[in-house]
Amino acid sequence: MRHQDGQKVPGKVVTMDLYIYDYEECDPKKCTARRLIKKRSAKKLRRSSELGKAGILLTPTAKIALSPADRETAAKGGLRAVDCTWTEADERLKYYKNGRALPYLVAANPVNYGRPMKLTTAEALAAALFILGEEEQAEKIMSEFKWGIHFIELNREPLERYGQAANSTEVVNIQKDYL
């Protein structure tokens, strides 16, 4: 956890609840969402209606970028992610009002390494945690994957900058430096 000035708060550990709704469309052997659920780092949502129930829903279709201003909402209701084919995400996720988009980041997963905005569910959740000040939890979930910690190393500078932004507008402005 961090102060407003970006400094870590000593001795204060907050772990955000992570939720995943899995459409079961990917290879089970490569699915980061299923691994997080299996390792109990995230809870499986049984119904898609639970995505909009509370917290923050990570979706590339959102009109608002995730920022530290979303921390309180995420701390109360958790971070929610969807594991699905993103070509169909627009239609599936357009009705949820609690959606937030992640800013520009580069994938470190073996399938999409180096490609911008082609993150796995685990990478998306870790990025959101990092931006919201939960660096330790982000590193913990990424440690479940051989390549995982490299995601944070690869994106450390933008993640730290996004994590210091006051709101969504500032995140979008910072993102322009990487586009």
Q: What is the domain range of residue 42? A: 18-175
> Do residues 92 and 48 lie in contact, with contact meaning Cβ atoms separated by under 8 Å?
yes
Please indicate, yes or no, if residue 114 is contained in any of the structural domains.
yes
Average pLDDT over the chain, rounded to an integer: 85
Residue 89 above 70 pLDDT?
A: no
**Residues 114/158, Cβ–Cβ less than 8 Å:** no
The mean pLDDT value for 21-28 works out to 70
* pLDDT band of 174, cuts 50, 70, 90: very high
Assigned domain for 165 exists? yes
Query: Rounded to whole angstroms, how far apart are CA atoms 117 and 174?
Result: 16
Q: Is residue 166 part of a domain?
A: yes
pLDDT computed for residue 11 by the predictor: 44
In a domain, 124, yes or no: yes
Domain contains 62: yes
Which band of pLDDT confidence, cut at 50, 70 and 90, is reported for residue 10?
very low
- Average pLDDT in the 76-94 region? 73
pLDDT exceeds 60 at position 60: yes
Question: Is the residue at 40 inside a domain?
Answer: yes
The whole-model pTM stands at 0.86
Give the pLDDT confidence score for residue 54 in this predicted structure. Answer: 86
Question: Which of these ranges, 31-40, 58-67, 86-95, has the smallest mean pLDDT?
Answer: 86-95
Give domain status of residue 148, yes or no: yes
Is 146 contained in some domain? yes
Of residues 42 and 82, more confidence is placed in 42
What mean pLDDT do residues 131-151 have? 95
| Alpha carbons 134 and 117: distance in angstroms, whole number | 21
Q: How many folded domains does the chain comprise?
A: 1
